[in-house]
Structure 1
Amino acid sequence: MDAPLLSVRGLAVDFRTMDGTVHAVEGVDLDISEGETVAIVGESGSGKSTTAMAIIGLLAGGGHIAGGSIRLDGREISKASENELRGIRGRDIGLVPQDPMSNLNPVAKIGTQVAETLLAHGLANRQNVSQKVVEALEAAGLPDAAKRAKQYPHEFSGGMRQRALIAIGLACKPRLLIADEPTSALDVTVQQTILDQIGAMTRELGTAVLLITHDLGLAAERAERVVVMHRGKVVEQGPAKQILEDPQHPYTQSLVKAAPSVAVARLQPDVFSAPSPDASPRGVESPDGALSERSETKRVERAEGESKPASATASDNIVEIENLTKVFPVRGRGEDFVAVNDVSLAIPRGETVAIVGESGSGKTTTARMLLKLFEPTKGVIRYEGKDIASLNRADTRDFRQRVQPIFQDPYSSLNPMFTIERLIAEPLEFYKRGSGSDRRKRVRQLLDDVALPQSMLRRYPSELSGGQRQRVAIARALALSPDLIVCDEPVSALDVLVQDQILRLLGDLQREYGLSYLFISHDLAVVRLISDYVCVMKDGALVEAASSEEIFTNPRDPYTRRLLASIPGNELNIA
């Protein structure tokens, strides 16, 4: 048998902290052959990203390789100097990091950042670098690449920024590509494009791929072998199909059991239930603007004898959006950009409405107008029957307590200078909720709710994994006990076990307090689990809106059918 391209033996990684040494990775063995795709899966903090960063020599401050061997094509690189590693990075080992905002230079154009990689490794010169940049961006699935190359990261959506990172990682056609959650911010159709591109490289160039992911469907569909990590150790590894269809280790079994799937129905009554047994609220509006009555009996009934939340009333909507349009002026162009075009929908009280669509479809812009972060160009948003554009200062202050966001990117939405305790307590302090001791008690309760240990209180966001940061963001949104939560990709950064916990937490809160959710997501399997209604957006317009059951079992629009067909692992039915 040929020697593997990458061979890791007994890898140990330690981090020096104020509380002592943390053994983040212990005794990891891993092989990747030429042209092979290997996926490492595991919950947030399991050591999968740390293993990948150790291989490429990019461990965070305080981290170091404490033992073991890393061989690339027979060459030991675990003790390589920084100069030697610079020669390896990019040309031999490419990297697609997890977070686009902290890995793209905010003051440099996208094309400039791709060009830097090509020029540094001698793969382009000043005469042809512009064309090479466009080719790299097109290969990563970025439309209108020549124009996009001249734009800055803040002008891109989250998915577009992730595609720019993928372009940088693939630009030098490396022998090994480390992809750390490369599609976590992408909708399913673009995800498919990117993964198809990576697959084409594997076949045509013999490029190997180390895929770090919490998406078991993606791992099952795209990897030949799967490595399962838990608490810094490899607990199981083998062929992908075998691992996912017949897991042997209890931890692997729990991962597979928690994985969402479009094949399963919405979470059952013990998790999600109605705010009232007699409630029959109106549903989402159809694309033509007509508000339709709910066409089916509520699928989940409140248990007999359970009290009805005070906020819940029969047949009403907490939010009604009519003919909403948002136009952004674009400098240097003769025409403006229409981000949202004549969208109408309603959010029934105590229920979940999901908006799905590709990156750039307008779903996040719609959510931000509801949050009063953007002013609509046209149209009306009513909260509790009141036009939010007409709210005075006192009413706006009350509105912002009752409507809370959970943003997509936990890296940019958390102040890096605040401890976790201060971050969660900040809204309580701002609105003067309770005494100091009451706030501290509430913060600890919220940490328990989102499955974080009390030891996190004194830490800073930089000391947490991506999934842990997102859980902090969710805890902060829940601090004021709002009536409506606008969730913008709230579980996209979470592994399946924590994702399952958070979805069940949101369900428990909805049942107990009659909460309403607007859920923005590109993960249709998650949407299937939690939503009562689904609105499908494309190019700023609403193309289909119906109950979740109808969307997933009888989609009418060709675009909706294409979205469903693009879900990774759909055919494998892991749930």
Structure 2
Amino acid sequence: MSAAKENQVPNAPLLSVEGLAVDFATMDGVVHAVEGVDLEIAPGQTVAIVGESGSGKSTTAMAIIGLLAGGGRVAAGSIRLDGREIAHAPENELRMIRGRDIGLVPQDPMSNLNPVAKIGTQVAETLLAHGLATRQNVQQKVVEALTAAGLPDPERRAKQYPHEFSGGMRQRALIAIGLACKPRLLIADEPTSALDVTVQQTILDQIGEMTRELGTAVLLITHDLGLAAERAERVIVMHRGKVVEQGPAKQILEDPQHPYTQSLVQAAPSVAAARLRPEAFRVEDRQAASSDAEGSADAEAPGTATAADNIVEFEHLTKVYPVRGQKEDFVAVNDVSLAIPRGETVAIVGESGSGKTTTARMLLKIIEPTSGLIRYEGKDVASLTKAETRDFRQKVQPIFQDPYSSLNPMFTIERLIAEPLDFYKRGSGADRRKRVRQLLDDVALPQSMLRRYPSELSGGQRQRVAIARALALSPELIVCDEPVSALDVLVQDQILNLLGDLQREYGLSYLFISHDLAVVRLISDYVCVMKDGSLVEAASSEEIFTNPRDPYTRRLLASIPGNELNIAS
């Protein structure tokens, strides 16, 4: 039995945090990241902390488990686990608490799983460290943990490496590690932020089922208010390091009292969707544009405009990958035909592995199609000369899903945003510096970020840098591959409004890849639904969300977190 369990106080909450303050020592002085946080979690209870990037929610969680980043320390307050004070516990005691008493499911599985160690080895490591398995039975325990986390064929999966797993499978592996020692408290830090809605639902159901069976309490860190309202019994709202409101989940979300909580609810497309902010859909503009096509859903589908009205057209696009050791090839994209009307937004949605990102990468000329045509401004992209390709790459810019891997860690933020301007020699040095500062303002980043590096920014801040870089050359078409998946709802709202403003001002066109269907509804004119590489449904956004025809589309819509909640406007 762990030290915390041995010192349990009868009738005490499992976790009690009082007056918690966390400081970070930086080159610019001490930063007060968390101030005066109070919270309690009862055994078996699920509590969610919500707030925008930098609000202190993850810092609070890391303080509880004793994993603050370098320079961080608990400056004041109390953290009691089963009545035992652990705020300033020595490292050897915290090592025994982590995993055994408090489990952790972190946000990014690729950076939290060892890429050169097999999945089974990583699960075994925590079991052996806490003496819950022996060398003789550890493999059996690993298989049991992976099975409980919902991984199919666990014996084979245990022998594979993280890169051989999909995003959802990697997240399940982290769940297996976090719950392998059957802890009494599980900290889940944005466990599904990069997953599509159906996989997200499966992962959260898996966490819920496992924690119910084990009687484990859950501290859920999330920026998704719909998810918090759906999965937690209590919600704690943090802003600038302080708790501004807390209470029963549905009460907080349906009747928020604090102005900041109200702003979160109003900005959250995953909660509000069309019901709260119909004006954001520019319905009147779309009705005027499509008034001649009323009465026919097919007439509103992408690809029905004349060729002159389309900036991009896909015709029977197919991408096939040979699979080593197998007779049948893998068909990633299968006979897809669609078009992107000039100045409008076409969204592609679907589960992980549906082919949506592969389609986008073919448009960007990152990979070549096996067959079919991609036309940009009426010209076959495959036949472009070197000079024409150079011009094409200026006009078509990407925003990738993972800002950490798409930003050079050795470059400052200023150099990252200026890179395309420097490469294409846009303007003088002074002009470029002025443009970089304007782009920082556009994506709501302070000028003080210019000298920082990607590692010094939060995930949401890195994504905003990636968006600023994509906008630098004033492109005609932007391919957005999950551009707001790492952003909290307020910044997400700012970025979506920014994309909308730029589209109206400059006539930009967007190909928008997303697993967040509420965001898709908010920003898109047309929606294409992909499954297993094929296009199963394509129509106007309004048609897809109000009258979905394909059962798969209906299943995706039913998986939106908080879809059935009555959220206040």
Question: TM-score if structure 1 supplies the norm length?
Answer: 0.90
| Alignment partner of 1:90 out of 83, 99, 119 | 99
Aligned residues: 554
Counterpart of 1:370 in structure 2 is 363
- Larger mean CA deviation between 451-460 and 144-153 belongs to 144-153
Amino acid of the residue matched to residue 83 of structure 1? Answer: N
Q: For the Cα contact (< 8 Å) 1:318–1:383, is it kept in 2?
A: yes
Q: Offset at 1:108?
A: 2.3
Residues 6-45 of structure 1 aligned to structure 2 (within 5 Å): 6-45=15-54
Amino acid of the residue matched to residue 34 of structure 2? Answer: V
Partners of 2:287 and 2:225 in 1: CA distance: 36
Counterpart of 1:449 in structure 2 is 442
Going from structure 1 to structure 2, the CA distance change for 1:522 and 1:490 (only over 3 Å counts) comes to same
- Larger mean CA deviation between 207-216 and 545-554 belongs to 545-554
Question: CA RMSD for the aligned pairs?
Answer: 2.7
| Alignment partner of 2:459 out of 466, 469, 475 | 466
Matched, 1:354 2:347: yes
Counterpart of 1:388 in structure 2 is 381
Counterpart of 1:523 in structure 2 is 516
Counterpart of 1:99 in structure 2 is 108
For 1:255, what is the secondary structure of its paired residue?
A: helix
Going from structure 1 to structure 2, the CA distance change for 1:77 and 1:334 (only over 3 Å counts) comes to farther
Partners of 1:125 and 1:371 in 2: CA distance: 51
Q: Offset at 1:17?
A: 0.9
| Alignment partner of 1:250 out of 251, 254, 259 | 259
1:277-310: CA deviation from partner (whole Å, max 9, x where unpaired): 8799999xx9xxxxx64379x9xxxxxxxxxxxx
Counterpart of 1:294 in structure 2 is 300
Q: Offset at 1:451?
A: 0.8
Going from structure 1 to structure 2, the CA distance change for 1:426 and 1:267 (only over 3 Å counts) comes to farther
Going from structure 1 to structure 2, the CA distance change for 1:538 and 1:145 (only over 3 Å counts) comes to farther
Residues 244-283 of structure 1 aligned to structure 2 (within 5 Å): 244-260=253-269, 261-264=272-275, 268=279
1:44-81: CA deviation from partner (whole Å, max 9, x where unpaired): 10000111111111111111111111111111111122
Q: Offset at 1:466?
A: 1.4
Matched, 1:498 2:491: yes
Q: Offset at 1:234?
A: 0.5
Amino acid of the residue matched to residue 323 of structure 2? Answer: V
Amino acid of the residue matched to residue 398 of structure 2? Answer: P
Partners of 1:119 and 1:557 in 2: CA distance: 48
Counterpart of 2:3 in structure 1 is none
| Alignment partner of 1:485 out of 478, 485, 490 | 478
Q: Offset at 1:521?
A: 0.8
Q: For the Cα contact (< 8 Å) 2:280–2:522, is it kept in 1?
A: no
Q: Offset at 1:371?
A: 1.2
For 2:564, what is the secondary structure of its paired residue?
A: helix
| Alignment partner of 1:563 out of 553, 556, 559 | 556
Q: Offset at 1:165?
A: 2.3
Tell me, which stretches of 5 or more residues in structure 2 are unaligned?
1-9
Going from structure 1 to structure 2, the CA distance change for 1:161 and 1:430 (only over 3 Å counts) comes to farther
1:477-517: CA deviation from partner (whole Å, max 9, x where unpaired): 11111111111111111111111111100000111111111
For 2:13, what is the secondary structure of its paired residue?
A: coil
Q: Offset at 1:175?
A: 1.0
- Larger mean CA deviation between 526-535 and 459-468 belongs to 459-468
1:356-388: CA deviation from partner (whole Å, max 9, x where unpaired): 111121211111111111222222222112222
Partners of 1:282 and 1:112 in 2: CA distance: 58
Amino acid of the residue matched to residue 22 of structure 1? Answer: V
Amino acid of the residue matched to residue 67 of structure 1? Answer: A
Tell me, which stretches of 5 or more residues in structure 1 are unaligned?
287-291, 299-311
For 1:85, what is the secondary structure of its paired residue?
A: helix
Q: Offset at 1:170?
A: 2.4
- Larger mean CA deviation between 408-417 and 526-535 belongs to 408-417
Partners of 1:275 and 1:242 in 2: CA distance: 35
**Bigger helix share:** 2
Counterpart of 2:125 in structure 1 is 116
Quick one: percent identity of the two aligned structures? 87
Going from structure 1 to structure 2, the CA distance change for 1:464 and 1:50 (only over 3 Å counts) comes to same
1:132-167: CA deviation from partner (whole Å, max 9, x where unpaired): 444434443444544444433333343443333233
Partners of 1:384 and 1:142 in 2: CA distance: 45
Q: Offset at 1:131?
A: 4.5
Matched, 1:166 2:175: yes
Amino acid of the residue matched to residue 354 of structure 1? Answer: A
Q: For the Cα contact (< 8 Å) 1:266–1:530, is it kept in 2?
A: no
Amino acid of the residue matched to residue 356 of structure 1? Answer: V
Going from structure 1 to structure 2, the CA distance change for 1:156 and 1:249 (only over 3 Å counts) comes to same
Counterpart of 2:423 in structure 1 is 430
Going from structure 1 to structure 2, the CA distance change for 1:563 and 1:270 (only over 3 Å counts) comes to closer
| Alignment partner of 1:219 out of 228, 235, 253 | 228
Counterpart of 2:4 in structure 1 is none
Amino acid of the residue matched to residue 193 of structure 1? Answer: T
For 2:70, what is the secondary structure of its paired residue?
A: coil
Residues 302-381 of structure 1 aligned to structure 2 (within 5 Å): 316-381=309-374
Partners of 1:271 and 1:486 in 2: CA distance: 21
Going from structure 1 to structure 2, the CA distance change for 1:5 and 1:534 (only over 3 Å counts) comes to same
Question: TM-score if structure 2 supplies the norm length?
Answer: 0.91
Partners of 1:475 and 1:20 in 2: CA distance: 28
For 1:118, what is the secondary structure of its paired residue?
A: helix
Counterpart of 1:476 in structure 2 is 469
Going from structure 1 to structure 2, the CA distance change for 1:483 and 1:561 (only over 3 Å counts) comes to same
Partners of 2:279 and 2:47 in 1: CA distance: 35
Partners of 1:267 and 1:156 in 2: CA distance: 39
Partners of 2:64 and 2:92 in 1: CA distance: 15
Q: For the Cα contact (< 8 Å) 2:228–2:235, is it kept in 1?
A: yes
Q: For the Cα contact (< 8 Å) 1:7–1:70, is it kept in 2?
A: yes
Q: Offset at 1:458?
A: 1.3
Counterpart of 1:2 in structure 2 is 11
